[in-house]
Structure 1
């Protein structure tokens, strides 16, 4: 009876995370992002803001996306290709977020990187309605 439970746990582990490469690195970067985000929130006086709570929830959703990617890999027999690409994407995303947090707290960040982060942040600050309006304006000007 004990062997059956171990087999079920092993099957569940395989379908949840399989042999996901770099998952430990991603989890470490997520923790560092949370820590640097807390420092940023303390500096800005918004430690318990709704935005920080959504940030924590977003971390959990990232893990759900990785689980879904792993399930797709398992079903299609892709030997982890989708999961690997997904984890690499989130590793890059977490790294950029950490650097952005450090720059906002006052840690020196290379100038070129800081400028890129600033331009990305300005692009993301548009509301959806502004983005739609800009998209339609661009199409009308192109006629």
Structure 2
């Protein structure tokens, strides 16, 4: 099971890199790195550093790339212009940005009230939608 999955991911990544990295993918990678770093900083400040939590975070980010790879495969099969892949990437970029803002707040950085309210509203909306599904 692991070997076929690994070969699918490898071939998809190879296909994506040979056709050129999209700017969106680069933004996602940078946002993920910043989210991980800001999460470490916030956890360190609050005395919550945990290797198991860090590994879970890395695991989730690997899963995001798996979903992006799957979206790319679907686009390839459908022959469209990367609509599904790009939509998937944009969703996760937004999610990473929300997480970075939350991490900054957890680290004690003052967050402008308007931005704090927007993040809280978006998180509540996402939580309600996930519970209703």
| TM-score for the superposition, normalised by structure 2 | 0.75
Question: Structure 1 pair 65/20, CA: closer, same or farther in 2 (3 Å)?
Answer: farther
Residue 74 of structure 1 corresponds to 76
Change (3 A) 1:17 1:27: farther
Distance in structure 1 (CA, Å) of the matches to 2:35 and 2:44 = 14
> How do 1:1-143 and structure 2 match up within 5 A?
13-14=14-15, 18-19=19-20, 21=22, 22-48=24-50, 50-118=52-120
Asked if the contact 1:36–1:101 (Cα under 8 Å) also holds between the matched residues in 2, the reply is yes
Structure 2, unaligned runs of 5 or more: 1-9
CA distance in 2, matches of 1:53, 1:28: 18
CA distance in 2, matches of 1:87, 1:57: 17
Q: Is the 8 A contact 2:32 2:61 kept in 1?
A: yes
Show CA shifts across 1:45-94 (max 9, x none): 12115333211110110000000000000011012110010111111111
Bigger CA radius of gyration: 1
How far apart are residue 108 of structure 1 and its match? 2.2
Q: What is the distance in 1 between the residues matched to 2:30 and 2:12? A: 25
Give the paired residue count. Answer: 122
